[in-house]
Amino acid sequence: MNECYYDKRMDFFYNMTNTDTVDEWTGPKLIVVLCFGTFFCLFIFISNSLVIAAVVKNKRFHFPFYYLLANLAAADFFAGIAYVFLMFNTGPVSKTLTVNRWFLRQGLLDTSLTASLVNLLVIAVERHMSIMRMKIHSNLTKKRVTFLIISIWAIAIFMGAVPTLGWNCLCDITACSSLAPIYSRSYLVFWSVLNLVVFFIMVVVYIRIYMYVQRKTNVLSSHTSGSISRRRTPVKLMKTVMTLLGAFVVCWTPGLVVLLLDGLNCTYCGIQNVKRWFLLLALMNSVMNPIIYSYKDDEMWSTMKRMICCSSEDKNQDRRSSRVPSTVLCRSTDTSGNYIEDGIIQGTICGKGDLGDKGNS
C-alpha cells in the first residue's frame, strides 16, 4: 500500500518535484508580477462591479442575455479575489503552506476560471438557439436563467474541488506534476483537455452563428435595398465575434497547453520558465471580458459612465441610445417577413437590450 502524505508541508512536494519557487519568485521578476497582478485585480474589481451594477440599474438590461453577462462579470470578479489570494500565498511562501491551504489556493483559481469559461459557453449556446429558431427574444425565463447560473457555479465549484476530493497525488508521489506538486498528472491532462474541448465547441458555435447571419443578410440584401445600419450589421457582428474568440485564444490556449504538457510529463519543454506569465495571460481574460461585452454595447457604456459621473439625466440616456447601432437595429418595426433576418441579427448584437419596452416574461 502506498504511503500518504497528508501531514506534510508543501516544501516536501516542491523538493520531490524539483520545483524551486524561491529563485523564480524573488527580485525584479516578483516585483513585476505583483505590479501587473495588482493593476489587473483593481481593474477586474472596478470594471466588473460596474457591469453588474449597470445590469441591475438599467431596466433595458433585464433580459436573459444580460443576466448571464452579469454572472460572467461576477465570475471575473471572483477571479480577481482568487488572484489576490494567490499573490499573498506564492513565491517563498508557497513552501510554507499546508496541503489544505495550497488546495484552497488552486481551487479558487480553478473555480473562477471554470465559471468564466462555462458562462461564456452558456452565452454562446443561448445566442445560437435564439438565432437558429429565428427569434429575437430568448425563450429563457427568469427561473431557467437562475437555474443556469446556479448550475454554472455548481460545475465550477465541483471542478475546483475535484483534486481535494481525491484526484491528487498525496498517496502516489510518482504521479505528481511539476507545475502543481500535489496535483496528479492525469488530472491536469483531464482538466486541460476538457477546457480545450469546450473552447472548440465555442468556436464552432460562433462560426455557425456568423455563417448563418451572413447567409441571411446576403439573401436579404439581394431582395431589398436595406438601410446602411442593416448592411453594417454583419461587419459589426464579425468584429465582435472575432474579438471574443481572439481574446479567448490568446489568453487561455497557452496556459492550457502548458498544463497538458506537464500532465504528459514533458521534461524538456521548459514549462517552469513560462508558467507565471501564462497565468497572468489567462487572468487577462477577466480583464478583457468587460471591455468586449460591455464597452462595445454603447447602452452599457453610457450606463456605466453615468454611474461613474453620478449623473442621472434621462435625456442624455435617450439621446445616446438613439445613436447606438445595436439599439437602432432593434426597433419593433422590424417584425415583417422581409426583416425577420435583421431581427435575428439584432438579437445577437444587442442581446435584445432595446426591446425591453416590448415586455418580457
Q: List per-block mean pLDDT (blocks of 10 residues) for the chain, which spans 361 residues.
A: 78 75 60 79 90 88 84 90 87 85 92 87 80 66 90 94 90 86 91 88 81 74 54 51 72 86 80 76 80 74 81 49 42 35 39 41 39
Q: Are 95 and 21 in contact (CB under 8 A)?
A: yes
Which pLDDT belongs to residue 324? 43
The CATH code for residues 24-220+234-309 is 1.20.1070.10
Domain boundaries, the chain: 24-220+234-309
Distance CA 355, CA 64 (A): 12
The predicted pLDDT at position 333 comes to 36
Q: Residue 98: beta bridge partners?
A: 9
Write out pLDDT tens, residues 91-143. Answer: 778 888 899 999 999 999 899 888 988 888 888 888 777 777 666 556 778 88
- Residues 243 and 255: their CA atoms lie apart, in Å, by 19
pTM over 0.85? The answer is no
Q: Residues with Cβ < 8 Å from 249, sequence gap 6 or more?
A: 199
CA 233 to chain centre: 24
Residue with cell 425591453: 356
Phi, psi of 211 (to 5 degrees): -65, -40
